[in-house]
Structures are given as structure tokens and as C-alpha cells.
Structure 1
Amino acid sequence: MRCAITRRFDQPGEVLQRHVVNVTMKDGAEFRLDAAVYFRFENGLITRIEEYACAPSAA
């Protein structure tokens, strides 16, 4: 499994990251998953996490 970061936005107290997860199965089959994660921080602690993932649609 490999993750490739495609975008990252950060500002004080927040980070949003978009990435692609590339997976190779034991039988050699491959697939990718588009994903994003959002973090909110207060006083140096994570106070909120939101995660999203979906398989890209076929063209």
C-alpha cells in the first residue's frame, strides 16, 4: 500500500489533506482509492477528525 499526497491545506488549528491510496493485492490485482482527511486542533490536541474515501468512477 502506498499513499500519494495530492493536496494539503493548512492554517492555524486546521489541516485538510487529499491523497490517493494505491494497493496491490497478493494476487497482483491493483486498485486505487481517493481519500481525504481533515484535522482540527485546539491547545495542541486533535479535537476533530473527518475522513472520506471513495473509489474513482470508471471513465
Structure 2
Amino acid sequence: MPTKKETDQRRLIEFAVLEELVPTNQLVRQIDVAINLDFIYELVKDTYCEDDGRPLLQRV
């Protein structure tokens, strides 16, 4: 059974979404809208393995 201190510490955990932390007027957001970086997927596809037991993550 968890102690009171352990229970209180669990309540302090906070989850944050990066999208919510970056201001909407941030320069990086404006660049993301203005420039299509999808070509990078094709350039780096040979550097990632889809069957090595680890989940494939977005690279861009």
C-alpha cells in the first residue's frame, strides 16, 4: 500500500503536449507552415530500419 508521501508525489506528475507549450506565433511554427519538409523522409529512409524491434518514430 502506498504511503501518503508516495500518493502526494503521484499527484504532482503533470503531462504536457509539446504542441501546447509552443506559442502559436513562434517562428518555427510559421516556418513549418511555409516550407514543406516532406522530402527529408525520402533522403533519410535508408538510415532507419523498420524491423529491428523498436518502433519507427517520425524523423521530421
For the aligned pair, the TM-score class normalised by the smaller chain equals: under 0.3
Task: Choose 1 or 2 for highest CA Rg.
Answer: 2
TM-score, normalising length from structure 1?
0.18
| Larger helix share, 1 or 2 | 2
TM-score, normalising length from structure 2?
0.18
| Larger strand share, 1 or 2 | 1
